[in-house]
Protein backbone atom coordinates (compact mmCIF):
# COMPACT_ATOMS: atom_id res chain seq x y z
CA UNK A 1 0.00 0.00 0.00
CA UNK A 2 1.04 3.61 -0.50
CA UNK A 3 1.87 5.98 2.36
CA UNK A 4 -1.23 8.18 1.85
CA UNK A 5 -3.55 5.19 2.18
CA UNK A 6 -1.65 4.04 5.27
CA UNK A 7 -2.02 7.47 6.86
CA UNK A 8 -5.74 7.73 6.08
CA UNK A 9 -6.34 4.19 7.33
CA UNK A 10 -4.71 5.10 10.66
CA UNK A 11 -6.86 8.23 10.94
CA UNK A 12 -9.93 6.13 10.11
CA UNK A 13 -9.12 3.62 12.85
CA UNK A 14 -7.91 5.95 15.59
CA UNK A 15 -9.61 9.34 15.08
CA UNK A 16 -12.63 8.41 17.20
CA UNK A 17 -10.84 7.25 20.38
CA UNK A 18 -7.85 9.62 20.29
CA UNK A 19 -6.99 13.15 19.22
CA UNK A 20 -4.07 15.56 19.07
CA UNK A 21 -0.56 14.24 19.67
CA UNK A 22 -1.83 10.68 20.08
CA UNK A 23 -3.49 10.70 16.65
CA UNK A 24 -0.40 12.26 15.10
CA UNK A 25 1.68 9.48 16.68
CA UNK A 26 -0.63 6.85 15.19
CA UNK A 27 -0.29 8.41 11.74
CA UNK A 28 3.51 8.56 12.06
CA UNK A 29 3.56 4.94 13.18
CA UNK A 30 1.46 4.01 10.13
CA UNK A 31 3.73 5.81 7.66
CA UNK A 32 7.25 5.28 9.01
CA UNK A 33 7.57 1.52 8.31
CA UNK A 34 8.18 2.56 4.70
CA UNK A 35 11.34 4.40 5.77
CA UNK A 36 13.03 1.08 4.96
CA UNK A 37 13.18 2.18 1.32
CA UNK A 38 16.36 3.95 2.47
CA UNK A 39 17.94 0.76 3.80
CA UNK A 40 18.42 -1.32 0.64
CA UNK A 41 21.99 -0.04 0.31
CA UNK A 42 22.80 -2.05 3.44
CA UNK A 43 21.58 -5.35 2.03
CA UNK A 44 23.09 -4.57 -1.37
CA UNK A 45 26.54 -4.25 0.19
CA UNK A 46 26.21 -7.01 2.79
CA UNK A 47 23.92 -9.97 2.04
CA UNK A 48 23.80 -10.80 5.76
CA UNK A 49 21.61 -7.70 6.13
CA UNK A 50 19.05 -8.87 3.56
CA UNK A 51 16.19 -8.21 5.99
CA UNK A 52 17.01 -4.49 5.90
CA UNK A 53 15.27 -3.64 2.66
CA UNK A 54 11.86 -2.36 1.62
CA UNK A 55 9.18 -4.62 3.02
CA UNK A 56 11.70 -6.10 5.45
CA UNK A 57 12.27 -5.81 9.17
CA UNK A 58 10.13 -2.71 9.74
CA UNK A 59 7.17 -4.60 8.26
CA UNK A 60 7.33 -7.40 10.83
CA UNK A 61 5.64 -7.80 14.19
CA UNK A 62 9.10 -7.53 15.72
CA UNK A 63 9.73 -4.28 13.87
CA UNK A 64 6.57 -2.46 14.93
CA UNK A 65 7.80 -1.74 18.49
CA UNK A 66 11.01 -0.38 16.97
CA UNK A 67 8.97 2.02 14.83
CA UNK A 68 6.95 3.07 17.90
CA UNK A 69 10.15 3.56 19.89
CA UNK A 70 11.52 5.77 17.10
CA UNK A 71 8.41 7.95 17.14
CA UNK A 72 8.65 8.14 20.94
CA UNK A 73 12.33 9.10 20.83
CA UNK A 74 11.52 11.88 18.40
CA UNK A 75 8.78 13.18 20.67
CA UNK A 76 11.04 13.08 23.73
CA UNK A 77 13.71 15.02 21.83
CA UNK A 78 11.12 17.60 20.75
CA UNK A 79 9.73 17.87 24.29
CA UNK A 80 13.20 18.43 25.69
CA UNK A 81 13.98 21.07 23.08
CA UNK A 82 10.78 22.97 23.94
CA UNK A 83 11.25 22.75 27.71
CA UNK A 84 8.55 20.16 28.38
CA UNK A 85 8.92 17.30 30.85
CA UNK A 86 6.11 14.79 30.28
CA UNK A 87 5.85 11.77 32.56
CA UNK A 88 6.69 8.29 31.36
CA UNK A 89 3.05 7.06 31.60
CA UNK A 90 1.94 10.07 29.54
CA UNK A 91 4.60 9.36 26.92
CA UNK A 92 3.66 5.69 26.69
CA UNK A 93 -0.08 6.36 26.52
CA UNK A 94 0.04 9.35 24.21
CA UNK A 95 2.96 8.47 21.93
CA UNK A 96 4.28 4.90 22.12
CA UNK A 97 1.07 2.87 22.10
CA UNK A 98 -0.72 4.97 19.46
CA UNK A 99 2.40 4.76 17.26
CA UNK A 100 2.48 1.00 17.81
CA UNK A 101 -1.18 0.77 16.78
CA UNK A 102 -0.48 2.79 13.66
CA UNK A 103 2.45 0.54 12.74
CA UNK A 104 0.24 -2.51 13.16
CA UNK A 105 -2.32 -1.07 10.72
CA UNK A 106 0.52 -0.66 8.21
CA UNK A 107 1.61 -4.28 8.63
CA UNK A 108 -1.99 -5.49 8.35
CA UNK A 109 -2.61 -3.68 5.06
CA UNK A 110 0.73 -4.72 3.56
CA UNK A 111 -0.02 -8.33 4.46
CA UNK A 112 -2.73 -8.18 1.79
CA UNK A 113 -0.24 -7.58 -1.04
CA UNK A 114 2.49 -9.40 -2.94
CA UNK A 115 5.33 -10.14 -2.52
CA UNK A 116 4.42 -10.24 1.18
CA UNK A 117 6.19 -9.25 4.38
CA UNK A 118 8.28 -11.17 6.95
CA UNK A 119 5.46 -10.96 9.48
CA UNK A 120 6.98 -13.33 12.06
CA UNK A 121 10.59 -12.14 11.84
CA UNK A 122 12.91 -12.81 13.69
CA UNK A 123 11.31 -16.21 14.35
CA UNK A 124 10.63 -16.81 10.67
CA UNK A 125 12.13 -14.86 7.79
CA UNK A 126 9.90 -16.18 5.02
CA UNK A 127 7.50 -13.62 3.56
CA UNK A 128 3.79 -14.07 4.10
CA UNK A 129 0.87 -12.61 2.14
CA UNK A 130 -2.88 -12.95 1.74
CA UNK A 131 -2.17 -12.20 -1.93
CA UNK A 132 -5.11 -10.08 -3.05
CA UNK A 133 -3.15 -7.02 -4.28
CA UNK A 134 -0.12 -6.94 -6.64
CA UNK A 135 1.68 -4.48 -4.38
CA UNK A 136 0.39 -0.90 -4.12
CA UNK A 137 -3.14 -0.56 -5.49
CA UNK A 138 -3.43 2.17 -8.13
CA UNK A 139 -7.16 2.44 -7.45
CA UNK A 140 -6.65 3.00 -3.72
CA UNK A 141 -3.75 5.39 -4.34
CA UNK A 142 -5.85 7.56 -6.66
CA UNK A 143 -8.79 7.43 -4.26
CA UNK A 144 -6.59 8.41 -1.31
CA UNK A 145 -5.00 11.27 -3.24
CA UNK A 146 -8.44 12.46 -4.33
CA UNK A 147 -9.82 12.41 -0.79
CA UNK A 148 -6.76 14.20 0.58
CA UNK A 149 -6.99 16.92 -2.09
CA UNK A 150 -10.70 17.44 -1.39
CA UNK A 151 -10.04 17.64 2.33
CA UNK A 152 -7.14 20.10 2.03
CA UNK A 153 -9.19 22.29 -0.31
CA UNK A 154 -12.07 22.37 2.16
CA UNK A 155 -14.48 20.50 -0.12
CA UNK A 156 -14.54 17.43 2.13
CA UNK A 157 -14.88 17.09 5.90
CA UNK A 158 -13.76 14.44 8.33
CA UNK A 159 -17.25 12.93 8.07
CA UNK A 160 -16.34 11.93 4.53
CA UNK A 161 -13.67 9.67 6.01
CA UNK A 162 -16.33 7.12 6.90
CA UNK A 163 -17.32 6.92 3.24
CA UNK A 164 -13.66 6.51 2.33
CA UNK A 165 -13.40 3.68 4.83
CA UNK A 166 -16.44 1.93 3.35
CA UNK A 167 -14.89 2.22 -0.11
CA UNK A 168 -11.54 0.89 1.18
CA UNK A 169 -13.24 -2.08 2.80
CA UNK A 170 -15.29 -2.71 -0.32
CA UNK A 171 -12.21 -2.82 -2.53
CA UNK A 172 -10.50 -5.26 -0.16
CA UNK A 173 -13.55 -7.54 -0.04
CA UNK A 174 -13.95 -7.40 -3.83
CA UNK A 175 -10.30 -8.26 -4.46
CA UNK A 176 -10.51 -11.10 -1.94
CA UNK A 177 -13.53 -12.48 -3.76
CA UNK A 178 -11.77 -12.26 -7.12
CA UNK A 179 -8.76 -14.07 -5.66
CA UNK A 180 -11.08 -16.83 -4.44
CA UNK A 181 -12.43 -17.25 -7.95
CA UNK A 182 -8.89 -17.29 -9.38
CA UNK A 183 -7.85 -20.03 -6.93
CA UNK A 184 -10.87 -22.13 -7.84
CA UNK A 185 -10.03 -21.82 -11.54
CA UNK A 186 -6.22 -22.00 -11.49
CA UNK A 187 -5.16 -23.33 -8.08
CA UNK A 188 -3.34 -21.64 -5.21
CA UNK A 189 -0.26 -20.66 -7.21
CA UNK A 190 -1.78 -17.41 -8.45
CA UNK A 191 -0.18 -13.97 -8.32
CA UNK A 192 -2.35 -10.87 -8.89
CA UNK A 193 -1.53 -8.26 -11.52
CA UNK A 194 -2.62 -4.63 -11.88
CA UNK A 195 -5.61 -5.91 -13.86
CA UNK A 196 -7.81 -7.65 -11.24
CA UNK A 197 -9.12 -10.05 -13.88
CA UNK A 198 -5.64 -11.12 -15.03
CA UNK A 199 -3.48 -13.44 -12.93
CA UNK A 200 -0.03 -14.95 -13.17
CA UNK A 201 -0.34 -18.67 -12.57
CA UNK A 202 2.64 -20.59 -11.20
CA UNK A 203 1.92 -24.31 -11.16
CA UNK A 204 4.22 -26.75 -9.35
CA UNK A 205 4.23 -29.92 -11.46
CA UNK A 206 6.80 -31.94 -9.57
CA UNK A 207 10.05 -31.60 -11.53
CA UNK A 208 8.96 -28.41 -13.29
CA UNK A 209 7.18 -25.12 -12.80
CA UNK A 210 4.59 -24.12 -15.41
CA UNK A 211 4.06 -20.36 -15.65
CA UNK A 212 1.46 -18.49 -17.68
CA UNK A 213 -0.91 -15.51 -17.56
CA UNK A 214 -4.61 -16.23 -17.45
CA UNK A 215 -7.82 -14.22 -17.41
CA UNK A 216 -10.85 -15.17 -15.35
CA UNK A 217 -12.99 -15.04 -18.48
CA UNK A 218 -10.68 -16.50 -21.13
CA UNK A 219 -8.20 -19.27 -21.63
CA UNK A 220 -4.57 -19.23 -20.47
CA UNK A 221 -1.86 -17.49 -22.44
CA UNK A 222 1.46 -18.87 -23.62
CA UNK A 223 3.01 -21.22 -21.09
CA UNK A 224 6.66 -21.27 -20.01
CA UNK A 225 8.12 -24.39 -18.42
CA UNK A 226 11.05 -24.19 -15.99
CA UNK A 227 12.76 -27.40 -14.87
CA UNK A 228 13.52 -27.18 -11.18
CA UNK A 229 17.01 -28.43 -11.82
CA UNK A 230 19.26 -31.40 -12.25
CA UNK A 231 19.07 -34.42 -10.01
CA UNK A 232 19.82 -33.50 -6.45
CA UNK A 233 18.16 -30.07 -6.35
CA UNK A 234 17.50 -28.73 -3.81
CA UNK A 235 19.70 -31.25 -2.00
CA UNK A 236 22.77 -29.87 -3.80
CA UNK A 237 22.26 -26.70 -1.76
CA UNK A 238 23.17 -28.74 1.30
CA UNK A 239 25.77 -26.86 3.25
CA UNK A 240 24.81 -23.57 1.62
CA UNK A 241 21.42 -23.00 3.23
CA UNK A 242 22.90 -20.57 5.72
CA UNK A 243 25.05 -18.70 3.19
CA UNK A 244 24.01 -15.04 3.17
CA UNK A 245 23.74 -14.88 -0.64
CA UNK A 246 21.52 -17.97 -0.73
CA UNK A 247 19.29 -16.70 2.08
CA UNK A 248 18.96 -13.33 0.33
CA UNK A 249 18.02 -15.04 -2.94
CA UNK A 250 15.32 -17.18 -1.34
CA UNK A 251 14.02 -14.22 0.68
CA UNK A 252 13.53 -12.11 -2.45
CA UNK A 253 12.31 -14.86 -4.79
CA UNK A 254 8.93 -16.29 -5.68
CA UNK A 255 10.35 -19.59 -6.92
CA UNK A 256 13.94 -20.81 -7.32
CA UNK A 257 15.27 -23.20 -9.97
CA UNK A 258 18.74 -24.56 -10.60
CA UNK A 259 20.84 -24.85 -13.75
CA UNK A 260 24.21 -26.51 -14.03
CA UNK A 261 26.91 -24.35 -15.59
CA UNK A 262 30.62 -24.68 -16.02
CA UNK A 263 32.24 -24.66 -12.62
CA UNK A 264 29.08 -24.95 -10.54
CA UNK A 265 25.33 -24.48 -10.29
CA UNK A 266 23.29 -21.34 -10.90
CA UNK A 267 20.25 -20.78 -8.69
CA UNK A 268 17.82 -18.08 -9.82
CA UNK A 269 14.25 -16.81 -9.74
CA UNK A 270 12.87 -17.25 -13.30
CA UNK A 271 9.82 -15.08 -12.64
CA UNK A 272 11.94 -12.02 -11.98
CA UNK A 273 14.71 -12.86 -14.45
CA UNK A 274 12.20 -13.27 -17.30
CA UNK A 275 10.23 -10.18 -16.23
CA UNK A 276 6.99 -11.88 -15.31
CA UNK A 277 7.43 -9.93 -12.07
CA UNK A 278 9.60 -6.85 -11.65
CA UNK A 279 9.81 -6.54 -7.88
CA UNK A 280 12.12 -6.94 -6.03
CA UNK A 281 14.46 -5.91 -8.86
CA UNK A 282 17.76 -6.96 -7.30
CA UNK A 283 19.39 -10.21 -6.19
CA UNK A 284 17.72 -12.58 -8.64
CA UNK A 285 20.49 -15.22 -8.75
CA UNK A 286 23.44 -16.78 -6.97
CA UNK A 287 26.14 -19.05 -8.40
CA UNK A 288 27.44 -21.90 -6.22
CA UNK A 289 30.87 -23.01 -7.39
CA UNK A 290 31.83 -26.67 -7.31
CA UNK A 291 34.55 -25.82 -4.81
CA UNK A 292 31.85 -24.73 -2.37
CA UNK A 293 32.03 -20.97 -2.84
CA UNK A 294 29.21 -18.72 -3.89
CA UNK A 295 28.71 -15.40 -5.59
CA UNK A 296 25.63 -13.24 -6.16
Give the mean pLDDT of 181-190: 89
**Per DSSP, what are the bridge partners of residue 208?**
227
Tell me whether the omega of the peptide bond preceding residue 285 falls within 30 degrees of 0, making it cis: no
Q: Tell me the per-residue pLDDT of 31-82, one tens digit each, with 9 for 90 and over.
A: 999 999 888 888 889 999 999 999 999 999 999 999 999 999 999 999 999 8
The model's pTM is 0.90
Helix H, strand E, coil C: the string for 102-140 is: HHHHHHHHHCCECCCECCCCCCCCCCECCCCECCCCHHH
Those residues with Cβ within 8 angstroms of residue 30's Cβ, 6 or more apart along the chain or in another chain: 6, 7, 9, 10, 102, 103, 105, 106
Q: Is the backbone of residue 112 left (phi > 0), alpha (psi -120 to 50) or beta?
A: alpha
Q: Is the pLDDT of residue 290 over 90?
A: no
Question: By the 8 A CB rule, do 220 and 190 touch?
Answer: no
C-alpha 241: how far from its chain's center? Answer: 23
Those residues with Cβ within 8 angstroms of residue 157's Cβ, 6 or more apart along the chain or in another chain: 151
Question: By the 8 A CB rule, do 190 and 181 touch?
Answer: no
- Output phi, psi for 34, to 5 deg: -80, 0
pLDDT at 274: 95
**Per DSSP, what are the bridge partners of residue 225?**
210
Least confident of 151-155, 224-228, 266-270, 292-296: 292-296
Cα 90 from Cα 227, distance rounded (Å)? 59
Mean of the per-residue pLDDT values for the chain? Answer: 90
Q: What is the DSSP letter of 234?
A: T
Q: Is 17 helix (H, G, I), strand (E, B) or coil?
A: coil
Q: Tell me the per-residue pLDDT of 91-143, one tens digit each, with 9 for 90 and over.
A: 999 999 999 999 999 999 999 999 999 999 999 999 999 999 998 899 999 99
Q: Tell me the per-residue pLDDT of 195-226, one tens digit each, with 9 for 90 and over.
A: 999 999 999 988 899 999 999 888 788 899 99
Amino acid sequence: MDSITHALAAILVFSTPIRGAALLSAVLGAVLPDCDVLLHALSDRDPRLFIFTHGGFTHSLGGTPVIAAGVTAGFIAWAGATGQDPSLPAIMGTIFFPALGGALTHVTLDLLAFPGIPLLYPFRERKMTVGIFPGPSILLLLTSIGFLCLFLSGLATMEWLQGYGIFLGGVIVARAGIRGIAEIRFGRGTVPTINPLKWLVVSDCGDTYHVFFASLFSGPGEERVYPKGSAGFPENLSGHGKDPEVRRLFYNSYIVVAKREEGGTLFYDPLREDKFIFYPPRHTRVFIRNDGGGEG
